[in-house]
A and B are shown apart, each in its own frame.
Chain A
Amino acid sequence: MRDNRIQNILRVNLSTGKTRLESIPEAWTAKYLGCRGIHSRLLFNEVPPGADPFGPDNVLYIGTGPLEGTPIGMGRLSVACKSPRGTVAEGSCGGFFGPELRRAGIDYLAIQGKADRPVYLWIHDQKSEIRDARHLWGRKINETDALLREELSDPDVQFRYIGPAGENLVHSSPIFGNRDNSGGRAGCGAVMGSKRLKAIAVRGSGGIRVADYEGFLKAYQHFRQRVGVGTSRDVWTPIWGAYGAPVIVRVFNDQGGIMTRNAQEMRWDEEKCNRISAEPYLEKYVTRAKACFCCPLPACKKQHEIRSGPFQGFRGGNLWAAIPSVFGPLLDNDDLELILVMAGMCNQFGLDVFHVAYTLAWAMECFEKGILTRADTDGLELRFGCPDKEGVLDLIRKIAMREGFGDLLARGCNEAAKMIGRGSEKFALVIKGQELEAIAQRNSYMVALGVAVSEVGPDHTRWYPPHPGHPGLLKNEDLSRLGVQLDLSKAAQGRNPEEKGKVLRWFTISRAIVESLPSCVFLVRDTLGFDLHPWHELFQTATGIRLDYSEFIRAGERVMNLDRAFLVREGFRRTDDQPPYRMATEDVPYFGFPKLDKPLFDRMLDDYYQANGWSLKTSIPRRHKLEELGLTDVVQDLEKRGMEVEP
């Protein structure tokens, strides 16, 4: 029986083949909560600066937290390590692995070393075994899932695995599970591949006991009410829980929010947007709903099938919001079926869709400008609009397999641009060496700031509120009562640099808290983005730990600071928290939104660092802030390494 206050970590050394089960200090649960929070602490403690990301000293953490296994955990799992670029690489994914791991009596896996041949890890309750995976190496995601399922026969065993892209150390590969779920796009899959770990399988037979079942039940029902599932005014369920976020391609187009042709423009043809939106997707291709563990939404995930035409017979799943945008307008492609197949290829080969989409877009712009020719692209006519569909699909395969032109693109467009030169660096849309996601920056300064400062490379999931709610719902006084000091009207003005640093700080902290419970951020709607009391009560009743609300919030701030400390220890500074070249130097055509020039950006960075208590010069957290958070050991560590920690 699991006691939710004490968290267990299974340490696996793939070099020696030894495993060891330990407990995490009990005090950590109140200080860092769990899941992502504990991973931030472990990463800082255990992966020294300068460690080779693909070497044995990099540790891959896969874990969940005290609320997982209860209905509020929603299957969330965090994967974390040092990324191939040196940044923090932390991501979360859903599915069913997390609850099963907890039921096996384990909260975290810490995998270090490197196996001498491909292996997979089999965990059954608290017993673990390292098994030969040579028969799985090279297999695509669905094949791996099917083979493991056959081998282990129990239909309730859960898996996490990598595809050929992770095995081939393709720079930004995530870890996959439950077929189409993925997490850790900053390169956790590549790190897993570098350890020759193909998969992890887990089966647990235990149960999860919460400390106060009646209290938890009440808190859970209150939570459902706040989220608004199943009420008579529930307009939200079909919007987000069924049609889903892909419909935003129609919303953002009028706001200068659609990156078109590698963000050379920010507006696409409206008819094309309609053609790739959630409405035709749901009507023509969706076959059934799928969900993560205990999700209250009907169909956040869906399975789809193409029943006619050139891609007849193709099946796949999980079309997230950004995918139509990055395989659609970014490449000037309005064929929704091609989008589904491209996303499917990425899922099958274990590739990150953003890496593939932005690198293809970069290559297309280079091709159209004559910087790349057919001699470079293995003869492929690589233009916007994807005239050679089969060629583009084969190129995706080649990226995963590092074949021919695919090998250049497998490095990501930042490295590829450095190798090609000839001015192509100007159109690599990257921050800290990692490709962007799909949210526009020059029309929303909070986004511009948020992607630039994020410690994993551009990652909107670490702060972007998916459902901010109607402006009429909250007033400044309401926020003040919650302990959040923000001027909402200024914060909501997209191109007003004021207040952005402060609002980003708040969202980063509150998101860190939700991801450290864990629970799913997609359920953070309206006032739940500012009022974390429902989460607080769920945490207390589940763990039995009484924590002041302010201490609960402080845990999120601790996690944020640990991530920043890891990043600066690897040598990143303020100069790395910058927008991509295109956004910093070009105004937006048609809308006229100005570029994110230095004075504007500096002002927002200053505000953000100031609000956080970080050095304006370097972005290193200052002593007074670290001491306030009880992170004196971090001060000592940074100073020991000769870094300047301002008072």
Chain B
Amino acid sequence: MTAKQWDKVATCVFWALGIIAIAILAFIILEVLGRGLLTALNPKFIFGKPKAMGSGGGIFPMIFSTLYLVVLAIAISLPISIGAAIYMAEYAKKGRINNFIRFCLDSLATLPSIVFGLFGVALFVTAFRWSYCLLAGAFTLAILNLPILLRSTEEAIKLVPDTYREASMSLGASRWTTIRQVVVPSALPGIITATILPIGRIVGESAAIIYTVGVFVRNVPLNPFDTAAPLAGYIWARQAEHGVPDWKTIVNGGAALLLIMVFIIYFLARWAGNRYQRKRLLGAGNK
């Protein structure tokens, strides 16, 4: 075969690979939504209470647990991430300590989520005697999400043009005043956008929370020290233990609902990201 023919073959293969990648996605979405969409959109399912026995159980406390967990975990990790990102972007000099912090962040990012789960069990559930509760899961997830949250926060802070800082400092503002009144406010839309993807990860996470938060509740958990059952973990437990006659319907519906939630978060992140970028470009154009 000539080089040109090889080139044609290769082009076909690459197209096939790209199509396979998209086909996998389409297949999963269609299959999961096809089986569960009707259940997932049924108000009785969404707003109903789960049943330990008998069919017809809903999943409202699970949806609530997931959202509650998101709020707690972000409330814990966002301030730390902003502080750390300011340090990394504004103060840290290139050196050993900075390098070591990056190494630790990379390690945290690669650590399997089940290891975070084990750690949460050992520290919060057992050593602190909190038992299974939302707060134990929230702290576990806050640590799990720290690397990605910090990285995207840091990027948002680095995107603030240096001219802003120089203008503020030339007016006599101290470094901290500059950070507090100029850098963080201009980076804020970016920081908010940065939290959306970690939220998606918290919604989908199950290995780190089934043994720290719990897998079944009958009522809506209100106290952070209550046992709860985020949706992803509940789906896993239902397919593992069955328990109720209509477990398959519940798992199908729950999986479809989880998929929808994650997709909404993804598109929200895209939309916010685009809007933020456009605004920045316009802002730069006006100057």
Q: Do A and B come from one complex?
A: no
